[in-house]
């Protein structure tokens, strides 16, 4: 791999041992990928701190969170003192909501661990956004900007909707990127790798966010980690629709980028989205495909009586919370059902000020932040059947927790929360 003089100096220790370790990791990683060089980045979204009991014990034995960062972010057996982040950096979702730890079944020592991790991240200058949707709370890289982001649903949004450039990085590469301001130049950093591979003809109206999730789920399974170009979309899908489409496509497949002709920034036309390439396949999405996707998402669901409704995967926007409040205001959740709604912490504070948190609480639900059920492995005790308005959560949580999961619209889920039964079908 070719390094600039500044990068060689970092590798040789000019900026201290942690930066040298970070550069060493990036060189090894880049060479394994076949990257010829690194590219500068000033936008990193990652994970640091001791996020599991194992890491907590590791920190206790090896000398604190510098040791955890050395081992798990820098792949360094030697413990190095971690300097402040060189780049703009923000923290992704965590393993708990410290303000709802009891409901999540977490012991006080886990909350202490969380708080220590947060203090460590803050001391490095990492923004404590604690969300899978950093783009909803102010991290909006510009078109063409090179980033180093983790979290599949954020990566696909970053590439597709914002037109910024990132691969799906890991804890190690984002840790190294925030100390060096570099990431390997490969994959979606390179212009020609961002062209479409599959043409998708949309032949059914997508009425709501749930419809966009089903559409993404169907397409992701077919294209896997390649790049679909969607033609036939009328109007401009809003943030929740694009968020759910990408999250679903990266769930059933490994989609890191999509184009919607006339909507996303690198697809003004079908021709521009493909560039010199020709589509390897043309996919049709009509009523039959929509039904098939719905049945696949609901594959685990049998019993209609539910005990849990989880909303906010990916984390809800303020407008989605407002929508829930419209559906919920003046009603009570069934006594056998828990309703948890996840959003970034910054949005929860806005929801508090707007009175939305109060409406949800009055109905018997909880507005939570920083995590979700899949990340925290936390569901209300006694949950056998849950309902979701997210394809991604309906795909993962039943597999993770051994429960049944229904997927429907937000209105279907709120109705189920109030009645204690999921009665909806695809309309």
Q: For residues 212 and 160, what is the distance between their CA atoms, to the nearest angstrom? A: 15
* Residue in the structure block whose two tokens are 């923000």: 90
Candidates 196, 253, 314, 398; binder of ligand F3S (CB under 6 A) is 314
Written as six digits, the tokens of 263 are: 């909507």
Q: Are 273 and 229 in contact (CB under 8 A)?
A: yes
- Strand extents, DSSP E, 86-194: 88-91, 148-149, 182-184
Interface with ligand F3S, residue 132, by CB under 6 A = yes
Candidates 58, 342, 356, 388; binder of ligand F3S (CB under 6 A) is 342
Written as six digits, the tokens of 90 are: 């923000």
Q: Are 347 and 317 in contact (CB under 8 A)?
A: yes
Interface with ligand F3S, residue 150, by CB under 6 A = no
95 vs 75, 108, 115, CA distance in Å?
22, 14, 12
CB-count burial class (<10 Å; 0-12, 13-18, 19+) for 425: exposed
Candidates 199, 260, 347, 372; binder of ligand F3S (CB under 6 A) is 372
User: CB-wise, 9 or 128, nearer to ligand F3S?
Assistant: 128
Q: For residues 270 and 263, what is the distance between their CA atoms, to the nearest angstrom? A: 11
Which of these ranges, 4-12, 191-199, 372-380, 403-411, lies near ligand F3S under the rule CB under 6 A?
372-380
User: CB-wise, 29 or 149, nearer to ligand F3S?
Assistant: 149
Interface with ligand F3S, residue 153, by CB under 6 A = yes
Q: How far is the CB of 50 from ligand F3S (least distance, A)?
A: 18
Q: How far is the CB of 170 from ligand F3S (least distance, A)?
A: 15
Which of these ranges, 52-60, 307-315, 323-331, 415-423, lies near ligand F3S under the rule CB under 6 A?
307-315
Interface with ligand F3S, residue 374, by CB under 6 A = yes
- What's the CA dihedral at 56, 130, 409, 301 to 10 degrees? -10
Q: How far is the CB of 67 from ligand F3S (least distance, A)?
A: 26
Q: How far is the CB of 393 from ligand F3S (least distance, A)?
A: 6
User: CB-wise, 393 or 410, nearer to ligand F3S?
Assistant: 393
Q: How far is the CB of 362 from ligand F3S (least distance, A)?
A: 24
Interface with ligand F3S, residue 158, by CB under 6 A = no
Q: For residues 289 and 271, what is the distance between their CA atoms, to the nearest angstrom? A: 25
Got the DSSP string for 274-300? HTT---SEEEEE-HHHHHHHHHHHTTT
User: CB-wise, 30 or 314, nearer to ligand F3S?
Assistant: 314
Dmax (CA) for the chain in angstroms is 66
Pairing of strands 38-40, 182-184: antiparallel
Interface with ligand F3S, residue 247, by CB under 6 A = yes
Interface with ligand F3S, residue 367, by CB under 6 A = no
| Binding footprint of ligand F3S, residue count (CB under 6 A) | 13
Q: How far is the CB of 110 from ligand F3S (least distance, A)?
A: 18
Interface with ligand F3S, residue 124, by CB under 6 A = no
Candidates 198, 290, 392, 421; binder of ligand F3S (CB under 6 A) is 392
State the Cα angle at 404 between 401 and 406, rounded to 5°.
Answer: 125
Interface with ligand F3S, residue 375, by CB under 6 A = yes
- Where does this chain bind ligand F3S (CB under 6 A)? 93, 132, 153, 247, 313-315, 342, 372, 374-375, 392-393
């Amino acid at each position: 791999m070719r390094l600039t003089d500044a990068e060689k100096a970092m590798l040789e220790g000019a900026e201290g041992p942690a930066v040298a370790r970070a550069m060493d990791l990036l060189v090894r990683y880049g060479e394994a990928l076949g990257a010829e060089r690194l590219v500068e980045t000033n936008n990193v979204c990652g994970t640091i701190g001791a996020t599991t009991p194992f890491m907590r014990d590791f920190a206790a034995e090896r000398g604190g969170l510098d040791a955890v960062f050395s081992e798990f972010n820098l792949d360094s057996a030697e413990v190095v003192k971690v300097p402040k982040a060189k780049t703009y950096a923000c923290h992704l979702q965590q393993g708990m909501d410290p303000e709802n730890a009891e409901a999540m079944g977490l012991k006080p020592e886990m909350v202490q661990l969380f708080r220590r991790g947060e203090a460590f991240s803050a001391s490095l200058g990492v923004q404590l956004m604690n969300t899978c949707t950093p783009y909803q709370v102010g991290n909006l890289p510009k078109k063409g900007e090179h980033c180093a982001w983790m979290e599949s649903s954020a990566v696909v949004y970053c590439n597709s909707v914002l037109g910024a450039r990132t691969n799906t990085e890991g804890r190690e590469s984002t840790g190294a990127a925030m100390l060096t301001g570099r990431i390997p130049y490969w994959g979606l950093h390179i212009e020609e790798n961002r062209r479409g591979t599959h043409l998708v003809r949309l032949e059914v109206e997508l009425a709501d966010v749930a419809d966009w999730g089903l559409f993404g789920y169907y397409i992701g399974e077919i294209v896997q980690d390649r790049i679909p170009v969607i033609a036939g979309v009328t109007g401009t899908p809003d943030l929740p629709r694009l968020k759910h489409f990408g999250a679903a496509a990266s769930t059933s497949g490994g989609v890191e980028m999509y184009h919607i002709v006339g909507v996303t920034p690198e697809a003004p036309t079908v021709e521009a989205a493909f560039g010199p390439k020709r589509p390897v396949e043309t996919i049709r999405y009509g009523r039959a495909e929509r039904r098939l996707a719905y049945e696949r998402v609901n594959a685990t669901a049998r019993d209609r009586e539910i005990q849990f409704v989880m909303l906010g995967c990916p984390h809800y926007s303020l407008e989605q919370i407002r929508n829930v409040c419209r559906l919920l205001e003046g009603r009570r959740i069934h006594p056998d059902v828990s309703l948890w709604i996840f959003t970034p912490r910054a949005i929860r504070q806005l929801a508090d000020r707007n009175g939305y948190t109060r409406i949800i609480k009055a109905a018997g639900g909880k507005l939570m932040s920083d995590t979700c059920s899949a990340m925290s492995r936390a569901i209300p005790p006694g949950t056998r059947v849950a309902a979701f308005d997210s394809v991604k959560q309906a795909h993962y949580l039943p597999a993770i927790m051994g429960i049944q999961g229904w997927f429907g619209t937000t209105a279907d889920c709120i109705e189920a929360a109030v009645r204690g039964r999921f009665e909806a079908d695809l309309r």
